[in-house]
């Protein structure tokens, strides 16, 4: 098998070209599920590397590059990169800043695509392995559930992928550090609206009205007991209200008939998610009923929690330890943000590792308008993707 040093050396020699790819992708960001320019650029690159097959479709601008090893086997490993940007005005000040208005790669997915391109470049020109690698370029991570769409459109039926791996850049880890742990590392993201119906009336005659504003306020306060009283203190959850909508700014003496609450819940374990959803509904209805009003809670589960499967995450840890030593290996701190790669690890064993990008010039947070991926991290990301593909193919073929 190719050594880590050999892979890293090859990729370092290609780093100028990989950086040019990243800067092009960064400069032309697109959002959502349809990313025609991004997809065309990736396809052109992949063809120039000589990958065996490029598959398109999956209800979006997704691409899957297929690279067969010299030795035949029916075993496949999947590597996934997300492709989409955010509806933000970029203020990073870099030369290759976005030219598309209110579109910016402020979550580093330009870097993830480049990391995956680097892996394709190595694997396409180094075929001494057994089995097949599928490199999946997936749009629509930022709220469009692009990963779910690919799963629903037969990703895992079309390609018999045994294990799947992804990365996300991490501005709290230094360049050259990898964060990886088994278990839930990102939260399930749910959203809700609660519609409160009271009885409108005059602000000076509250005794004949049912005040939807008061009821909504009591629901907000009472819902704070869910995390503190209904969830095991050793497990995590969040209940946050993002909007309270009621009345009119000119209606200081009008008690509105209705009020609407909008918010998000986050959790890791399925039983906690069930409990939070159940209690939110019970509290909304119970509080409303106590005041003679009605409340209806509409609860939607957007992204499941991201589970890093134990066997696969421990395998990646071992690969990183052997390559970068203990100083390169960091924990993957649990975060209450979400990641749609979770739809893939729901149906296929795998894990996501965090790729360090921090240095004195790269300190901005993800989704911040100053954010830019760090080119210095690309070779680390690509090297690890290749190492994972080769090591895991060996393991699943054994």
**Between 88 and 107, whose beta carbon lies closer to Zn ion?**
107
CB burial of residue 43 (10 Å; 0-12, 13-18, 19+): middle
Phi first, then psi, for residue 202 (nearest 5°) are: -80, 135
Residue in the block written with tokens 């749609």: 340
Region 320-339 residues binding Zn ion, contact defined as CB under 5 A = none
Residue in the block written with tokens 């990183």: 320
**What is the smallest separation between the CB atom of 143 and Zn ion, expressed in angstroms?**
9
Q: Are 204 and 309 in contact (CB under 8 A)?
A: no
Please report the DSSP string for 93-159 in residue order: --TT---STT-B-TT-HHHHHHHHHHHHHHHHH---SEEEEEEEEE--TTTS-HHHHHHHTTHHHHS
Sign of CA dihedral 22, 379, 106, 155: positive
d(CA 143, CA 194): 21
**What is the smallest separation between the CB atom of 141 and Zn ion, expressed in angstroms?**
6
CB burial of residue 217 (10 Å; 0-12, 13-18, 19+): middle
d(CA 63, CA 15): 23
Region 106-125 residues binding Zn ion, contact defined as CB under 5 A = 107
Pairing relationship of beta strands 71-82 and 130-138 according to DSSP bridges: parallel
Q: Are 220 and 206 in contact (CB under 8 A)?
A: no
Residue 106 tokens, joined: 């402020």
**What is the smallest separation between the CB atom of 84 and Zn ion, expressed in angstroms?**
9
**What is the smallest separation between the CB atom of 103 and Zn ion, expressed in angstroms?**
13
Q: Are 392 and 77 in contact (CB under 8 A)?
A: yes
**What is the smallest separation between the CB atom of 303 and Zn ion, expressed in angstroms?**
11
- Residue nearest Zn ion (C-beta atom): 107
Nearest to 163 by CA among 125, 132, 137, 138: 132
**What is the smallest separation between the CB atom of 225 and Zn ion, expressed in angstroms?**
31
**Between 107 and 161, whose beta carbon lies closer to Zn ion?**
107
Q: How many chain residues interact with Zn ion (CB under 5 A)? A: 1
**What is the smallest separation between the CB atom of 169 and Zn ion, expressed in angstroms?**
8
Indicate which residues carry an active-site annotation: 84, 141
Residues in the chain, how many? 398
**Between 107 and 387, whose beta carbon lies closer to Zn ion?**
107
**Between 107 and 123, whose beta carbon lies closer to Zn ion?**
107
**What is the smallest separation between the CB atom of 81 and Zn ion, expressed in angstroms?**
11
**Residue 57, SS3 per DSSP:** strand
Kindly give, in sequence order, each residue whose CB lies less than 8 Å from that of residue 25, ignoring residues fewer than 6 positions away: 38, 41, 105, 110, 113, 114
Region 68-107 residues binding Zn ion, contact defined as CB under 5 A = 107
Please report the DSSP string for 327-340 in residue order: GGEE----BSS--T
**Between 124 and 307, whose beta carbon lies closer to Zn ion?**
307
Residues in a beta bridge with 246: 259
Give me the residues that bind Zn ion (CB under 5 A), please.
107
């Amino acid at each position: 098998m190719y050594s880590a040093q050999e892979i890293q050396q090859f990729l370092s020699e290609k780093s100028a070209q990989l950086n040019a790819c990243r800067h092009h992708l960064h400069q032309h960001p697109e959002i959502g599920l349809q990313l025609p320019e991004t997809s065309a650029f990736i396809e052109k690159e992949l063809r120039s590397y000589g990958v065996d097959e490029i598959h398109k479709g999956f209800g979006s601008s997704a691409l899957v590059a297929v690279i067969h090893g010299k030795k035949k086997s029916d075993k496949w490993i999947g590597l996934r990169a997300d492709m989409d940007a955010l509806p933000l005005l970029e203020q990073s000040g870099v030369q290759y800043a976005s030219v598309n208005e209110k579109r910016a790669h402020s979550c580093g997915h330009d870097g993830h695509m480049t990391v995956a391109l680097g892996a394709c470049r190595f694997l396409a020109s180094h075929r001494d392995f057994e089995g097949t690698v599928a490199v999946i370029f997936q749009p629509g991570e930022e709220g469009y559930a692009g990963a779910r769409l690919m799963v629903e459109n037969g990703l895992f039926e079309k390609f018999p992928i045994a294990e799947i791996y992804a990365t996300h850049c991490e501005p709290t880890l230094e360049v050259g550090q990898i964060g990886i742990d088994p278990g839930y590392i990102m939260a399930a993201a749910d959203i809700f609206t609660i519609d409160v119906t009271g009885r409108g009336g005059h602000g000076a005659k509250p005794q004949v009205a049912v005040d939807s504003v008061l009821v909504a306020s009591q629901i907000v306060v009472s819902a704070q007991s869910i995390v503190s009283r209904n969830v095991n203190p050793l497990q995590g959850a969040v209940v946050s209200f993002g909007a309270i909508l009621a009345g009119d700014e000119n209606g200081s003496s009008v008690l509105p008939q209705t009020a609407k609450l909008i918010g998000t819940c986050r959790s890791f374990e399925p039983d906690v998610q069930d409990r939070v959803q159940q209690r939110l509904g019970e509290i909304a209805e119970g509080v409303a009923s106590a005041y003679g009003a009605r409340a209806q809670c509409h609860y939607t589960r957007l992204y499941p929690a991201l589970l890093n499967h134990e066997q696969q995450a421990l395998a990646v840890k071992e690969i990183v330890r052997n390559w970068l030593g203990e100083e390169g290996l960091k924990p993957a701190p649990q975060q209450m943000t979400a990641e749609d790669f979770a739809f893939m690890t729901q149906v296929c064993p795998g894990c996501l590792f965090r790729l360090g990008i921090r240095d004195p010039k790269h300190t901005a947070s993800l989704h911040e308008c100053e954010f830019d991926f760090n080119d210095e991290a690309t070779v680390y990301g690509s090297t690890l993707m290749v190492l994972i593909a080769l090591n895991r193919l060996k393991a699943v073929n054994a």
